[in-house]
Amino acid sequence: MGEKIVIYVAGNPDGYPLEYYDPAAECYQGVIPQLLRKFSAGSDYEVLYYSPDGGDQREHLAQNLQVDLLSGYREGEVLPDHREEVVIFSTVYEGQRQNYCLCLTQAAPPELKGDLEAFFQAVPQEEISGILMEQSASQPRDLTGFYLTIGGLALGAALLACALILAVRRYRKRLRNAERMVKTDEVTGLGNYDYLLHQYQKRINAHNRVLYSLVYFYVDLDSLRRSGGNGEADQFLNYCGRLLENCTAGADILARVSDRGFVLLKYSSNEDTLQEELRPLFEQVHGYSQTYGKSFEVNLSAGVCQLKQEDQNLKDLIFSAAQGAREAWRNKEDLVLCTSQMRQKLAEERNLQNSLDGALAQHEFELYLQFYVDAHNFQIMGGEALSRWKHPQKGVLSPDVFIPMLERTGVIYKLDYYCLEESCRFLDELMEKGIDRFFVSCNFSRDTFAAEDFVRRCKQIIEPHRFPRELLIFELTESVSEKHAAQIRQNMLALKDYGVRIALDDFGEGFSSFHDLQQYPVDGLKLDKGLVTSISTKPGMAILRAMVQVGHELGLTILAEGVESEEQVKALQAIYCDVIQGFRFHRPIPAQVAQEMILHRMSR
């Protein structure tokens, strides 16, 4: 059988025991749902109940053409514009025959009526009686308007059936409870990602998708944990959870989907109304520290994506809204609406990200090298390993395009380790050809460098190679952020112990400081291109001179990067800079070409 045709049905939540909403099980129960499940199992249709936990929404859903079927009506009870009815079974009430129907809305596919009629005509009356007995065996209920007598039931058989059914029910309930535990976030008690996915699949469909917006709320837990510890972080998460619950109405779905993220699927397609609805929430978050006497600031940032008809993949939607939320966080705003262009760009990034593993396996990344020269005699001493992505469709991509994206999406470590491996191979090849003085420096993202298993993984890569370890230099971008400082320091010490060298990259780019140098056991400094450019000014020259002097006093090798002019070279020589890298001497070139040049210039 091919793909099933999905049919949405709006049920009667109060039609016990024929059809009713069971809040504990979060679904519809009763004779009609059971029969419809049987119909689904034996046909090309998949009949799903719509929006189960609201009230009776049948009229509204039918008018908006969000469902194909309306259920739980007696024949003739429905408004005239709700077209055709299919009688599904009859009951006898105080001697009167009563027909129960499904009504087809204009959204229903044309063949559905005939298929339903054929199915229901073939269901034996005894089967309906059996299901009804099963329903009546559950906890007593008020049978408003639905007292039924269906002939032909022997009492003994009914009691036996009841006992069996009760046992099955208890088992199902246990299963449901177990399932609920698995779908709950422990800190906030809200649903988790599995819960969200389940609800999304159950409740959002082709008919109502465009009426929803997905809001991703990002909590900056790093700074919160630093200032308040895990206890404060959990308290704030709980606080957010409760505020978000207050923003969650009937048809909305709320979940905590990750350590730092909540998702609210809001039944709202109007951006202005949505922003208005969320305003009090942000106000309460802004007042959190003051209201609760906390000594630190907290924040919550949101990204909003309006669902489009083609938006079916929940993960893609969350990804886009989460990027919006991060953008809001970076700009210190409450909320960012993800525009179509933004989402288009993100989709492209996501494609790139998804193709990363394949690209690494296919060796689409090529190692380039840019030489470092001695600042006094301009002889080649070593080079920096730089990546280029030879994308089969997009051509050669420069690191500016893919590095920030790989960093944002947390997969940069894959490229960093790949590049390290390639650099080791390059050094071994040089060794085999008799060159044992050329060094290679490799870039590592801060997140890669800060990982607990960083040193172990690097050793695993380096171990099989034979080049002397001091020929390998690890470049780490200096950063104002204190994030993971202790782990980075520990990793640096272990790596130095192992014999490789470490340089601080882009030194002087931000508010970098000699404070970093005291903290980290580095061997060299790479002065940022911006500093080198300012060497033509008097204060620029003074700053650089002082930096080189302090660096030398600390026993560090000083390298200047981005050197483009003769004037810069002269000035750098005057202040005793050790090594130069820049277009003035060499541009990045493919590793193979670099190897030939090295062999030509460095062999004796």
Minimum CB distance to ligand C2E, residue 561 (Å): 6
Q: Which of 458, 506, 575, 595: binder of Ca ion (CB under 5 A)? A: 506
Taking the CB of residue 499, how many other CB atoms lie within 10 A of it? 12
Angle, helices 399-408 vs 340-354, to 10°: value is 90
Any contact of residue 505 with Ca ion (CB under 5 A)?
Answer: yes
The single residue among 443, 479, 568, 581 that binds Ca ion, judged by CB under 5 A, is 443
Beta strands in 448-546 (DSSP E): 472-477, 501-507, 524-527
Does residue 416 interact with Ca ion by CB under 5 A?
no
CA-nearest of 218, 213, 214, 188 to 334 is 218
465-484: contacts with Ca ion (CB under 5 A): 475
In terms of CB distance, is 416 or 478 closer to ligand C2E? 416
What's the min distance (Å) between Cβ of 397 and Ca ion? 18
How far apart are CB 509 and Ca ion at their closest, in Å? 8
With CB under 5 to 8 Å by kind, the binding choice for 43 among Ca ion, ligand C2E, none is: none
Which CB sits closer to ligand C2E, 317 or 572?
Answer: 572
Nearer Cβ to Ca ion (422/506): 506
- The only residue of 265, 403, 455, 525 in contact with ligand C2E, by rule CB under 6 A: 403
The candidate with the shortest Cα–Cα distance to 17, out of 121, 163, 144, 102, is: 144
Tokens of 406: 């790989």
Maximum alpha-carbon separation in the chain: 112
Query: CA–CA separation, 49 vs 218, rounded Å?
Result: 32
**Is 306 a binder of ligand C2E (CB under 6 A)?**
no
Task: Give the interface segment with ligand C2E, choosing from 97-105, 246-254, 395-403, 465-473 (CB under 6 A).
Answer: 395-403
3-state secondary structure of 386: strand
Supply the DSSP symbol for 149: B
Site track for ligand C2E across 546-585, x = CB under 6 A: ---------------xxxx----------------xxx--
Cβ–Cβ < 8 Å for 534, 555: no
Closest CA to 145 of 89, 91, 102, 87: 91
Q: Whose structure tokens read 């679904």?
A: 27
Cross-strand partners of 219:
300
Nearer residue to ligand C2E within complex by CB, 169 or 414: 414
H helices present in 247-371, as ranges: 271-286, 288-291, 314-330, 340-354, 356-361
The answer to the question of residue 505 lying near ligand C2E (CB under 6 A) is: yes
**Pick from ligand C2E, Ca ion, none: which does 237 bind, CB < 5 to 8 A by kind?**
none
Contact 579, 570 (CB under 8 A): no
The burial class, CB within 10 Å (0-12 / 13-18 / 19+), for 147 is exposed
**What is the total count of residues that contact ligand C2E (CB under 6 A)?**
24
For residue 387, report the phi and psi dihedrals to the nearest 5 degrees: -95, 145
State the minimum distance, in angstroms, from the CB of residue 393 to ligand C2E. Answer: 20
Under rule CB under 6 A, residue 444 binds ligand C2E? yes
Per-residue DSSP letter, 392: T
- 411 to 440: interface string for ligand C2E, x by CB under 6 A: -x--xx--x---------------------
Establish if 387 lies at the interface with ligand C2E (CB under 6 A). Answer: yes
Binds 303: which of Ca ion, ligand C2E, none (CB < 5-8 Å by kind): none
349 binds Ca ion (CB under 5 A): no
Q: Which two tokens stand for residue 5?
A: 């045709």
Q: Which does 415 bind (CB under 5 to 8 A by kind): ligand C2E, Ca ion, none?
A: ligand C2E
* Residues lying near Ca ion in the complex (CB under 5 A): 443, 475, 505-506
Q: Which residues bind ligand C2E (CB under 6 A)?
A: 370, 386-387, 398-400, 403, 412, 415-416, 419, 443-445, 505-506, 561-564, 581-583, 588
